[in-house]
Amino acid sequence: MITTTQVQKKGNQFPNEIVDFKQERDRLYFTTKNGVILELTVLRDSVIRFRYATEYVFEPDFSYAISDDVSLGFNSLEVEDGKLEYLITTSKLRIYINKGNLKVKITDLEGTIINEDETGFHWEENFDYGGNIVKMSKVTQSAESYYGMGDKASHTNLKGKRANNWVTDQYAFGKDQEPLYKAIPFYVGLHNDLAYGIFFDNSFSTYFDFAHERRNVTSFWADGGEMNYYFFFGPKMSQVVEAYTNLTGVPELPPLWALGFHQSKWSYFPEKKVKQIANTFRKLKIPCDAIYLDIDYMDGFRCFTWDNRRFPDPKRMVKELEEIGFKTITMIDPGIKIDRDYWVYQEAMENDYFCKRADGPHFKGKVWPGECKFPDFTNPAVREWWADLYKEMIADVGVHGVWNDMNEPAIMDVPSKTANLDVRHDYDGHRCSHRKAHNVYGMQMVRATFEGLKKYTFPKRPFVLTRAAYSGTQRYCATWTGDNVATWEHLWIANVQAQRMCMSGYSFIGSDIGGFAEQPNGELFARWIQLGIFHPFCRVHSSGDHGDQEPWSFGKEITDIVRKFIELRYELLPYIYTMFYKYVNDGLPMLKSLVFYDQEDSQTHFRTDEFIFGDQILVCPVQEPNAQGRRMYIPRGKWYNYWTDEVVEGGDEKWVAAGIDKIPIFVKEGAIVPKYPVQQYVGEKELTELKLDVYYKDGTENSMVYEDQHEGYDYKKGRFSLRKFRLRGKPKELIVQQFKDGSYITPYNKLRLQFHGLPFTIKKIELDNEKVDLKSVKLNGNNNIEISKDFTELHLFGA
Ligand code: MIG
Residue 490 belongs to domain with CATH number: 3.20.20.80
- 412 lies in the same domain as 558: yes
CA dist., res. 98 & res. 122, Å (int): 15
Could you tell me if residue 149 is inside a domain?
no
Test site for ligand 1: of 167, 265, 297, 405, most ligand atoms within 8 A of the Cβ: 405
Instruction: Tell the residue nearest (CA) to atom 5 of ligand 1.
Output: 266
- 309 lies in the same domain as 457: yes
- 580 lies in the same domain as 601: no
- 265 lies in the same domain as 411: yes
Rounded to the nearest whole angstrom, what is the distance from the C-alpha of residue 579 to the centroid of ligand 1?
29
Atom of ligand 1 nearest to the CA of 543: 5
Please give the tally of structural domains in the chain.
4
Rounded to the nearest whole angstrom, what is the distance from the C-alpha of residue 462 to the centroid of ligand 1?
22
Please say which residue of 554, 586, 618 terminates a domain: 586
- 489 lies in the same domain as 602: no
Atom of ligand 1 nearest to the CA of 368: 1
Test site for ligand 1: of 182, 267, 269, 294, most ligand atoms within 8 A of the Cβ: 294
Active site residues: 405, 408, 483
CB 493 within 8 A of CB 517: no
Rounded to the nearest whole angstrom, what is the distance from the C-alpha of residue 468 to the centroid of ligand 1?
12
Atom of ligand 1 nearest to the CA of 541: 4
Instruction: Tell the residue nearest (CA) to atom 12 of ligand 1.
Output: 266
Could you tell me if residue 350 is inside a domain?
no
Atom of ligand 1 nearest to the CA of 512: 4
pTM, rounded to two decimals: 0.97
Please say which residue of 586, 608, 627 terminates a domain: 586
Test site for ligand 1: of 264, 266, 295, most ligand atoms within 8 A of the Cβ: 266
Q: What are the angstrom distances between the C-alpha of 693 and each of 577, 648, 676, 679, 758?
A: 16, 18, 11, 18, 12
The pLDDT assigned to 135 comes to 98
- 29 lies in the same domain as 103: yes
Instruction: Tell the residue nearest (CA) to atom 13 of ligand 1.
Output: 266
Among left, alpha and beta (phi > 0; psi -120 to 50; other), residue 528 is alpha
Atom of ligand 1 nearest to the CA of 544: 5
- 555 lies in the same domain as 442: yes
Of all residues in the chain, what percent carry a pLDDT higher than 70?
99
pLDDT in tens, 572-582: 999 999 999 99
CATH number of the CATH domain containing 137? 2.60.40.1760
Rounded to the nearest whole angstrom, what is the distance from the C-alpha of residue 516 to the centroid of ligand 1?
9
Nearest to 569 by CA among 544, 605, 535, 519: 535
Nearest to 561 by CA among 591, 532, 518, 519: 532
Could you tell me if residue 171 is inside a domain?
no
- 40 lies in the same domain as 94: yes
> Which amino acid appears at position 743 of this protein?
S
Nearest to 243 by CA among 232, 229, 251, 259: 232
- 320 lies in the same domain as 445: yes
CATH number of the CATH domain containing 695? 2.60.40.1180
Instruction: Kindly list the protein residues whose Cβ atom lies closer than 6 A to any atom of ligand 1.
Output: 266, 294-295, 331, 405-406, 467, 482-483, 541
Could you tell me if residue 166 is inside a domain?
no
Peptide linkage before 459 cis (omega within 30 of 0): yes
Instruction: Tell the residue nearest (CA) to atom 6 of ligand 1.
Output: 406
CB 182 within 8 A of CB 200: no
- 641 lies in the same domain as 699: no
Q: What are phi and psi of 389, to 5 degrees?
A: -60, -20
Rounded to the nearest whole angstrom, what is the distance from the C-alpha of residue 763 to the centroid of ligand 1?
60
Q: What are the angstrom distances between the C-alpha of 257 and each of 281, 328, 538?
A: 16, 11, 11
Peptide linkage before 409 cis (omega within 30 of 0): yes
- 507 lies in the same domain as 568: yes
Test site for ligand 1: of 182, 465, 467, 483, most ligand atoms within 8 A of the Cβ: 483
Q: 556-571 and 573-586 are packed helices; what angle lies between their axes, rounded to 10 degrees?
A: 50
Rounded to the nearest whole angstrom, what is the distance from the C-alpha of residue 464 to the centroid of ligand 1?
16
Rounded to the nearest whole angstrom, what is the distance from the C-alpha of residue 405 to the centroid of ligand 1?
7
Rounded to the nearest whole angstrom, what is the distance from the C-alpha of residue 409 to the centroid of ligand 1?
12
Test site for ligand 1: of 263, 406, 537, 545, most ligand atoms within 8 A of the Cβ: 406
CA dist., res. 149 & res. 151, Å (int): 7
The pLDDT assigned to 1 comes to 42
Rounded to the nearest whole angstrom, what is the distance from the C-alpha of residue 368 to the centroid of ligand 1?
10
The pLDDT assigned to 10 comes to 73
What Rg value do the Cα atoms of the chain yield, rounded? 27
Could you tell me if residue 153 is inside a domain?
no
Instruction: Tell the residue nearest (CA) to atom 8 of ligand 1.
Output: 406
Atom of ligand 1 nearest to the CA of 403: 4
Rounded to the nearest whole angstrom, what is the distance from the C-alpha of residue 534 to the centroid of ligand 1?
24
CB 779 within 8 A of CB 762: yes
Among left, alpha and beta (phi > 0; psi -120 to 50; other), residue 225 is left
The pLDDT assigned to 9 comes to 56
The segments of the chain whose pLDDT lies below 50 read: 1-7
pLDDT in tens, 427-445: 999 999 999 999 999 999 9
Rounded to the nearest whole angstrom, what is the distance from the C-alpha of residue 370 to the centroid of ligand 1?
15
Q: Which SS3 state, helix, strand or coil, does residue 604 take?
A: helix
- 663 lies in the same domain as 717: no
Atom of ligand 1 nearest to the CA of 264: 5
Rounded to the nearest whole angstrom, what is the distance from the C-alpha of residue 318 to the centroid of ligand 1?
22
Rounded to the nearest whole angstrom, what is the distance from the C-alpha of residue 451 to the centroid of ligand 1?
23
Q: Please, what is the Cα angle at 658 between 656 and 663, to 5 degrees?
A: 100
Could you tell me if residue 385 is inside a domain?
yes
Please say which residue of 558, 586, 614 terminates a domain: 586
Helix and strand totals (H; E) in the chain: 12, 51
Rounded to the nearest whole angstrom, what is the distance from the C-alpha of residue 296 to the centroid of ligand 1?
11
Could you tell me if residue 533 is inside a domain?
yes
Q: 522-532 and 488-503 are packed helices; what angle lies between their axes, rounded to 10 degrees?
A: 10
Could you tell me if residue 175 is inside a domain?
no
Residue 107: which domain range?
Answer: 4-141+194-234
